Structures are given as structure tokens and as C-alpha cells.
Structure 1
Amino acid sequence: MMGVDYYVTLEINRTVTDAIIKQSYRRLALKYHPSTNKSPGALEKFHQLAEAYDVLSDPSKKAIYDKFGEEGLKGGIPPEFGAAGAWTSGYVYHGNPAKTFQLFFGGDNPFADFHSKDVDEMAVRLNGVQQQGKGRAVKTQDPPIERDLHLSLDDLFHGCTKKIKISRRVMNEDGYTSSIRDKILTIVVKPGWNEGTRITFPQEGDQGPNSIPADIIFIVRQKSHPCFVRQKNDLVYKAQIALEMALTGFSVDVETLGGRLLNIPINDIVHPQYNKVVTGEGMPLSQDPSRRGNLIIVFDTQFPQKLSAERKRVIKQALAS
């Protein structure tokens, strides 16, 4: 069996009765209780004993553990082994060994006067929580989970709604066990959002008995577009033209992301540093979608590979005048 061996922890074998399990836990829990045992490792051992007893004293948990080990117990077992053809919920120990100890001994608890502050300090050391105020402890939040949200330039131009399914561990009503459940997160993409925009869903990560769920953060990543390159709020469009067009004038057709066909006349000489700026035909501004950046047309002038002597003469004559 892989993982933790609860039988070894309680110093018993697999064939013992429930009475022996209780007897062993009683003996070892008293031996390693942090109020009397200050030796290194005693506190961790006390925690391990409580979890082992919590599993082996429960017939259903013990049966799953005996057959599938710690991995099956905590991860859940597949439908073919679970009741009613469902995947069983994974086991999560509540993480409070003092609670297990007190429930076991009840009114006969030999450490009934054990100070509550010491119990809190033990929880701090075992479960990673931080103290807040005198004798109190609060949970810490898991680190945020970041995921990329890949969007097309059309999505960012028009805005859209994206629905993303996540699977996360959710605590059951008993407060100790958990199960995996799906949830749909809805992201309303606003026109003009930029690369790197962050959308936060607070505390939508895995739930646990001893921590606050992590925030899930989606980060906008812009996909490339076959016609346009985005530069902040501007859109850059590259047009290929012949040398003749660059020198004599022409018009260029551009279909915008909004579906309009622009016919833009170019009457200037198109030199290597030349570009044409069309005002208000770029991306919407995220702060005010009624306003837009510019469309910038740049030109890739195609030169002829060869010229005849006659054509060279004609061009020299034309340029010399």
C-alpha cells in the first residue's frame, strides 16, 4: 500500500478489533500529548495518531483505506467501486487533533483543563494558520491560481461573453469530507480590453478545512490576426503595392473589424517612411468604447526584379524632369 500506513502509526496490525484500535490510540495519544510530551516530533506524532484513529475507527473509511490505500481514500474511488455508480468523495481530515482527542475521551479527558491558548498554538504549528489577537487563530488564503484567457482580436474589438468550466474540491456539509464538483465561471469581455487584463474570481479555488480558497485569476492573451497588428488602441494594416503605384497614386481597400469596407485614396508619394493614418478606425477604448484609436496603413513597396534598357531610359527621363 502506498502513502501513509495508519496501522503502523497506531502500532497495530490489520486484523485487530475495534477495541484494540481504541486501546492503542488511547495509549499513544496520552504518551504524545503536547501538554506533557515536549520532545521533538511529539506534536507531529500526536497529529498523525489523531488522523489514523479518525480513519480506522470509522468502518466505511477503514474499508476504503484497506482496499485502496491512502490515495483512494483521499482522492475518491471510481464509479465501479462506489455506491450507486458514483465517484465517492475524497476524505479530508479536519486537521484538529485536539478535537479528536477530546471526542475520544469525552468527560474522562485527562487533560480537560488543558488551556485553550495551547490548543490554538498547536493548531498554528500543525495547520499553518496565523494567530490574530490573543488566543485566536485565523485561516490563511491559498496563493492565487492564474490562467491565460486567449481571445481573438475580434473578441476584443466587439466584446463577448466566455463561459469557462472549472473543477474544484468543495467541502461537504459535514465540514470534514470533500468532493470534486464542476462550476461555470462567466467572463464578460468588454470592448477594447488590452493584453494582460486580469479578471479575478475571489475564493473559487479548492476548499479545505484549514485554508481559505485561492482566488482564480484569468489573464487576457491576445491571439494574432491575419490582417491587423494591434499597437495599444491603434490597428496597423500592411498593404503591398507596386513601385508604379507608390509613385503615381492609387487607392487601398481595407475591411475593418467592424465589417465596413473602407476605400482610402493615396495621392502622396509613398516613400519608405510613409504611412497613412485614418482617424477613429482603430480599437475601441476600454474606458470609453464610443471612442476609438486610429487605423495606420503601412506599405510594402514591391520593386521590379529586372528592367529593360528602354524602360530604364524612360524612367530616367521621367524622373529628371
Structure 2
Amino acid sequence: MPPSSSSGYSYANGSGGNSKGFNPRNAEDIFAEFFGSSPFGFGSAGPGKSTRFQSEGGGTFGGFGMGENIFRTYSDGSVPRKPPPVESKLPCSLEELYSGSTRKMKISRTVVDANGRQTPESEILTIDVKPGWKKGTKITFPDKGNEQPNQLPADLVFVIDEKPHDVYKRDSNDLIVNHKVSLAEALGGTSVSLITLDGRDLNIAVTDIISPGFELGIPGEGMPIAREPGNRGDLRIKFEVKFPTKLTPEQRAGLKRALGG
């Protein structure tokens, strides 16, 4: 079934013709059929050209309450050019990208009125930042860029940028934490206490021997996966062992006894 337009008409795309046998005609032909003559006062532009229809003041369409400039095309048959999108960064904290947030963005732009004059306009745009969005995600607002005479308005694109975090670093859907431990903790066990990005207390007991380069993974404590609702990446804790710079003879002897050296 072809999609329905906002005015209630159905339309079909492609070159296969209209399934209901409808033959499109221009506005002059339709008015001439009903009223006996064209109400526009313009002749046909002929093959290969289009006509600019415009109601000035008390023109034909004014009586129908339809306003001015109902049809705006160009006598040379050209199509108005659409400028490239206007991009703007949208910095987000890691907490926002973890839990989601709603951002209100006030934009100022120029628009072209019915008389072709450029005027300033301000507008508040709402952006629903979804959990799991990544740096580089683009949110497009069609036709919300500046307008220029005889041009289509540009699209406005916000590009997600990720703010640095004091504790966590993001790696795709995983979160990375760097944690330092003493040699005694590396050998004898330790625990890691963290506050998650959604404010929970997370206490992790580490009973493994922590060797240089050791990494502990906690499944499901990473970032939400935007395209897999309910799933999350992993939390990866990377350990750095702090070796003592010097030991007393007694400490050395104690280590040898403990380690069987």
C-alpha cells in the first residue's frame, strides 16, 4: 500500500505509474476545468519549464485563506540547491552517555520570509541522548540551519563528543579503570571500591595474585549497548603493582621465607 500524505492523499513512488490511473495536471488545468479559465493570469510556461505562481495581496488564493506564495518554483526550471549540513559538537559526560539524558539546545539562525527578507529566529531544540551512544553519533534536525534566498535550508547536525572522566575511560562498550596496588596487596589479596556511573557502590574482592599487566574483567558493568537494549559491556580493571624502592635486611629475609626462596 502506498504511503499516505499528511493531506490525506495517497501517492506512489517510482516510474510504474499510478495504480488508480490518476493523470497529474497542473493547477491551471484544474482551475480551468472547474471555473472556465485560469485564475492566475499567467500563461503556460511551455514544455520543459515551470511557472512561478504567487498570490500578491488580494490574489486568488487570499480568498481561500491559503496565504501567499502557494507555488514557488523557478522560470528557468532549476531546482533550489540545498547547502551542506551545518555540524556542531554536543559535549556529553560519560554519565549522560551511560544513563541517557535530555538536552535543550537554543539555536539562533536566519530564515527567509515570504517577501524574501532574511530575519533572525531563535528556537529551542530537544535532544534525547540515548544510553550507550558513542562519540561521533549524529543527530540531524532537517532544515534547521540558516536559510538563504533561492536555496533550501540546510540541515543542522549535532555530533556527540565525549568529555573526559576522572575515573573511567571508555573503550567501545567497555569501561576501563586503572588501579594501583602495593606489592603486599598484589601477593596477599585486596579489594577495589568504585562508584559506578549511575551512582552505585561497587566493591570487588581480588583474590588472584596480581602480576604486572594483570587485568580483571567484571561482565555487565560496562556501558549500555545502544543496539542491544538490556545488554552492557564489561568493566575492566587494569592493575599496576607498585614495587618498593628498598627493603631492610629483615624484610628481605621475611619475603624469602614466605616465598620459599
What's the TM-score, normalizing by structure 1?
0.57
Q: Following the alignment from structure 2 to structure 1, what is the Cα–Cα distance between the partners of residues 141 and 109?
A: 13
Offset at residue 119 of structure 1 (A):
9.5
Match of 1:144 in 2: 85
Note the C-alpha offset of 1:161: 0.8
Q: For the aligned residues, what is the CA RMSD?
A: 2.5
Query: Partners of 1:262 and 1:205 in 2: how far apart?
Result: 45
Measure how far apart 1:264 and its partner are. 1.0
Does 2:212 match 1:272? yes
Consecutive unaligned residues of structure 1, counting only runs of 5 or more, are: 1-112, 121-131
- State the one-letter code of the partner of 1:251: S
**Is the CA contact (8 Å cut-off) linking 2:218 and 2:236 kept in structure 1?**
yes
After TM superposition, give the deviation of residue 273 of structure 1 in Å: 2.3
Structure 1 residue 153 corresponds to structure 2 residue 94? yes
The 5-angstrom pairing of residues 184-203 of structure 1 reads 184-203=124-143
1:243 pairs with one of 183, 206, 209: 183
2:181, 2:240 within 8 Å by CA — same for their partners in 1? yes
Matched residue SS, 1:284 = coil
Distance 1:277 1:268 in 2: 12
User: Aligned partners of 1:149, 1:289: CA distance in 2, in Å?
Assistant: 23
SS class of match (2:229): strand
> Structure 2 unaligned runs (5+)?
1-42, 51-72
Superposed CA deviations along residues 155-198 of structure 1, whole A, max 9, x for unmatched, are: 00010011111111111232x21211111111110000011101
SS of equivalent residue, structure 1 residue 141: coil
> SS at the partner of 2:164?
coil
Q: Which has the larger radius of gyration?
A: 1
Q: Which amino acid aligns with 2:146?
A: D
Scaled by the length of structure 2, what TM-score is found?
0.70
Contact persistence 1:192–1:289 (CA under 8 A): no
Post-superposition CA distance 1:66-114 (Å, at most 9, x none)? xxxxxxxxxxxxxxxxxxxxxxxxxxxxxxxxxxxxxxxxxxxxxxx9x
Does 1:294 pair with 2:234?
yes
- Count of residues in Structure 1 that have an aligned counterpart in Structure 2: 196
Query: 1:153, 1:223 within 8 Å by CA — same for their partners in 2?
Result: yes
1:182 equivalent to 2:114? Answer no
* TM-aligned CA distance change 1:177 to 1:119, over 3 Å: farther
CA–CA distance in structure 2, aligned partners of residues 179 and 215 of structure 1:
18
Shift of 1:209: 2.2
Segments of 4+ moved more than 3 angstroms = 115-120
Q: Is the 8 A contact 1:117 1:135 kept in 2?
A: no
Shift of 1:242: 0.8
The 2-side partners of 1:144 and 1:256 are apart by: 37
What is the aligned partner in structure 2 of residue 47 from structure 1? Answer: none
Q: Is the CA contact (8 Å cut-off) linking 2:221 and 2:235 kept in structure 1? A: yes
1:259 paired to 2:167: no
User: What does residue 208 of structure 1 align with?
Assistant: 148
Q: How far, CA to CA, are the matches of 1:214 and 1:181 in structure 2?
A: 15
1:313 aligned partner = 253
CA distance in 1, matches of 2:173, 2:217: 13
| Residue aligned with 2:212, SS | coil
Residues 129-173 of structure 1: per-residue CA shift (max 9 Å, x gap): xxx9x9521101011111111000000001001111111111123
Shift of 1:268: 0.8
The structure richer in helix per residue is 1
> For residue 124 of structure 1, what is the aligned residue in structure 2?
none
Alpha-carbon shift at residue 116 of structure 1 (Å):
7.8
- The equivalent of 1:109 in structure 2 is none
1:170 and 2:89 aligned: no
